[in-house]
Amino acid sequence: MISASTGLEPQCDWSFTVIKRFTLYGSPHPLPTYKVALMLRLSGEPFSFRYVSFQKGMHKTPEFLALSRWGQVPVLVDNERVHLQSAAIVEHLAETLHQFQGSDSATRQAVREWLYWDVDVLFPPIFNCYGVHLGQRKLLPIS
């Protein structure tokens, strides 16, 4: 860059990129990806998002399967460690970031129970309804 004063002096570019600790791989459609992204956003923790297109088969590529052995999203990379399954990821984030985990073991157990209740009871009927909508729009990852 050229300085405005003489037009000859180089000017330093002081802009920089913040290196983010967390990278979230997912698709905007699945609710589990949303749950992890919401946890990161509410915690105020910066993160990168990598879109995994099921329509393009990105979940079946060797590169993605090296991260997610089941070819599912979400996947969270925390530095070099890979975490799978939304409830386990949220639990990891709560422990790592010391947020949303509860102050004692009884509260932490109650939080875990809600996390797994969500996976077992709440998520299936919600996704079934949502899945019908996605299917009509040809956005489901089925061949």
Q: Please list, residue by residue across 37-46, b when 16 or more beta carbons sit within 10 angstroms of its beta carbon and e when fewer do.
A: bebbeebeee
pTM, to two decimals = 0.71
pLDDT classification of 4: cutoffs 50, 70, 90:
very low
Rg of the chain on CA atoms, in Å: 20
- Reduced to 3 states, what is the DSSP secondary structure of residue 139? coil
The 10s digit of each residue's pLDDT in 119-131 is 777 777 776 777 7
The 10s digit of each residue's pLDDT in 80-114 is 999 999 999 999 999 999 988 888 999 989 888 88
The 10s digit of each residue's pLDDT in 54-88 is 889 999 999 999 999 999 999 999 999 999 999 99
Q: Which residue has the tokens 């399967």?
A: 65
